[in-house]
Amino acid sequence: MGKRETYRDLVMIGHVRTDRKCPKCKGKFQKVKDRLVCKKCLTEPARFFIDLPYKGERFKIWWDENGQALDSYERADRLLNHIRWEIDHFRFKPEKYRQAQSEPFYFEVYAKSWLKEQEIRHKSNEIAYSTLYQRRMIVRKYLVPYFGRTDIRHIGTRSIKDFNLHLAELKVKGNKTMSPKYREGVIGVIRQIFFDGLRSGDLNRVHVPFFPQIDVPDAYFDFLTEDEQDENLKKIPMYDRPIFHFILWYGVRPSEARALMRDCILGNFDEVVIRRTFSRNNRLRDNPKENKWRVIPLEKETKAILKRLPISITGFVFINKWGRRYSQSYLNDTWNKACKDAGYRYIPLKNASRHSLGTKLAQEGLGENIIATVLGHSDTKTTKKYTRYTADSLKPFFKRRNVKKASVRRLSVTNKLKKPDS
């Protein structure tokens, strides 16, 4: 009889819940036959917790006593039954499940710590502000909302694959889905977080999952020929032509031309060193985008132009008519007006200078290594976009094809004119 009373008095407190929403419809998960599912999409959450009222307090338990995340309803339900048994036998200790030692590995905590390291790297000029801005935005907008308090050590290959599918279905900019190129950037940030953790010793190799390879279609970019560049350059105001001449002729980034200072000129205007750039927040950096300096030999015309420039107390080589350094918006507006005045199509300044030079060198048959050296690429993979087949390289093929078709056509007409034998 006493045994029956013991079982009758067993506690049945606590519930298995989730703080996630359906990744497809953003709806709430509901309990259906001992499971939490979205009735509309039939999806299940990837993260659970135990909601446990105990001695006047309310506990949220996300882990078992071994630090394993509650990543399935079955795991959470088994733990809840175990906790009920501990309460019945006066063995329940809430601190055992709080896992304070695991808190630094919660993804949202670890990612914020990683962002602080990126900010320090930016202050020491190791990375550009645009890189920091992009990483910060991706972490806060996509990574933390999805992974939340998941232990980064428990994010496996399957979790990354599901996250990639979630990004592919995510609606951005109205009703459009995320582009493959941007999705590759998001996956690249979480990959960087894992490998930085591996290099710092926070993670082991077994904690690093495999990341999906995203096929990004090749993007076509417009470019200008040298004659088109010269025509546009004629429409630039005389005072502003030197900086545009330097940008167009040598394929430097506008931010690098703006940051060119007198100490970058070597010898008797024989060479210049590209050693500075302006970041996205208009901050002068001592290292260009690839974090390495590059030397550019100057032609006679460029030497003559640079020697005639007035010397500014600011130290910048190119200054505007007001005696101040150029801004990016001023260069863009001036270039866009020149394109319009010259009667050419609109083309961004970077495409008109840097991409145009890379395409021209590729059309002349120069290899990837030479083009990478000229443009300052640290990885020749970036240079491959210039070494694809161009329209000029295909002209002989189409010309040969048209000649062949014309000869066949003449032959068929001749056969028709011939009279059949009587």
Predicted local distance difference test score (pLDDT) of residue 90: 87
Residue 184 pLDDT class (50, 70, 90 cuts): very high
Q: What is the pLDDT of residues 163-174, one digit of tens each?
A: 999 999 888 877
CB 149 within 8 A of CB 98: no
Average pLDDT over residues 115-138: 89
Predicted local distance difference test score (pLDDT) of residue 1: 37
Average pLDDT over residues 321-336: 91
Predicted local distance difference test score (pLDDT) of residue 420: 53
Predicted local distance difference test score (pLDDT) of residue 23: 81
Bridge pairing between strands 49-54 and 15-17: antiparallel
Kindly tell me if the per-residue pLDDT of 101 is higher than 80.
Answer: no
User: What does the mean pLDDT of the chain come to?
Assistant: 82
Which one, of 93, 88, 83, 111, lies nearest residue 14 by Cα? Answer: 83
The tokens for 316 are 């910048």
Cα dihedral sign, 107-109-114-118:
positive
Predicted local distance difference test score (pLDDT) of residue 353: 80
Residue 231 pLDDT class (50, 70, 90 cuts): confident
CA 232/CA 230 separation, integer angstroms: 5
Q: Tokens 């980064």, residue?
A: 152
Cα 235-241-243 angle, rounded to 5 deg? 135
Range name among 70-74, 215-219, 251-255 with the lowest pLDDT average: 215-219
Predicted local distance difference test score (pLDDT) of residue 414: 54
Kindly tell me if the per-residue pLDDT of 100 is higher than 90.
Answer: no
Which one, of 244, 236, 219, 237, lies nearest residue 353 by Cα? Answer: 244
Tell me the C-alpha to C-alpha distance, in Å, between residue 229 and each of 225, 349, 361, 419: 6, 11, 15, 59
Q: What is the pLDDT of residues 196-218, one digit of tens each?
A: 999 988 888 888 999 998 887 77
CA 272/CA 266 separation, integer angstroms: 6
Kindly tell me if the per-residue pLDDT of 19 is higher than 60.
Answer: yes
Sorted by sequence, the CB contacts under 8 Å of residue 104 that are 6+ apart come out as 110, 113
Q: What is the pLDDT of residues 256-293, one digit of tens each?
A: 899 999 988 888 888 888 888 888 778 888 877 777 78
Please give the domain boundaries of the chain with CATH numbers for all domains. 2-98 (no CATH), 104-207 (1.10.150.130), 226-386 (1.10.443.10)
Verdict on whether the full-model pTM lies above 0.85: no
